[in-house]
Amino acid sequence: MNNAGYTTAGRFLDHSADDWADLVAVNVRGAVTGSRLCARRMVDAGIRGQIINVASGAAYTPLTVSSPYCTTKAAVMMFSEAFRLELRPHGIGVTAICPGAINTGFYTAARHLGSDAAVNTQRRDLSAGAIARFGSGPDAVAKAIVRSVRANRAIQPVTTEAYLGYALWRLSPTVMKVIARLSGEGTLRYVENTSLVRTAMGWLKERTK
């Protein structure tokens, strides 16, 4: 399983060439290198099994303040689908796991770009707070991985928002674009400050545990 990855937060023009190179090195090359080494040994030994690459719901959900992360995770998802076709004759499956909002230290560790330190800290705390309140636990990802291995699925969304995003991406790209425009700090503040939205998000979280 290839799970290495991190994100930054900020608009495209606030990311340097080095920022992009670092994200690609970890998020994309990590999955590619791990998959290549594992597949080589499995094919040579005649071992059947499954390679798991952790992508993200961001692979098919454009986010206004995270274009590098979306790009790298889309690359992981498409790589997994293409590599899966090559390994099929060997009895080896490849699955791209696409989690939505998962309550770990992932978002707290994200480096925010484009503003002074105080504003970046505020944005980090806002996003981390929303994830802590509405995100699913890491056990949801673990269970999804087990399901995907048993069923040999190509793409496995995790959490309600990831499933909805995947369905919209496949069925209605126009609606997905509208929703994508809402991604950002303003929407997070609205969710945090609107009781009806908080209640609805909490209800969905409880129903998908």
Q: How far apart are CA 18 and CA 128, in angstroms?
A: 25
**107 is annotated as an active-site residue:** no
3-state SS string over the chain? CECCCCCEECCHHHCCHHHHHHHHHHHHHHHHHHHHHHHHHHHHHCCCEEEEEECCHHHCCCCCCCHHHHHHHHHHHHHHHHHHHHHHHHCEEEEEEEECCECCCCCCCCEECCCCHHHHHHHHHHHHHHHHHHCECHHHHHHHHHHHHHHCCCEEEECHHHHHHHHHHHHCHHHHHHHHHCCCHHHHHHHHHCHHHHHHHHHHHHHCC
pLDDT digits over 50-101, tens only? 999 999 999 999 888 889 999 999 999 999 999 999 999 999 999 999 999 8
- Judge whether 2 lies within some domain: no
State the residue range of the domain holding 109: 8-207
Q: How far apart are CA 57 and CA 62, in angstroms?
A: 9
Model pTM above 0.85: no
- Judge whether 1 lies within some domain: no
Looking at the structure of the chain, the number of domains it has is 1
- Judge whether 3 lies within some domain: no
* CATH number assigned to the domain comprising residue 192: 3.40.50.720
| Mean pLDDT score of the chain | 86
Active-site position among 69, 163, 166, 190: 69
pLDDT digits over 139-187, tens only? 999 999 999 999 999 999 999 989 989 999 889 888 877 777 765 544 4
Q: Which two tokens stand for residue 8?
A: 């930054």
- Judge whether 29 lies within some domain: yes
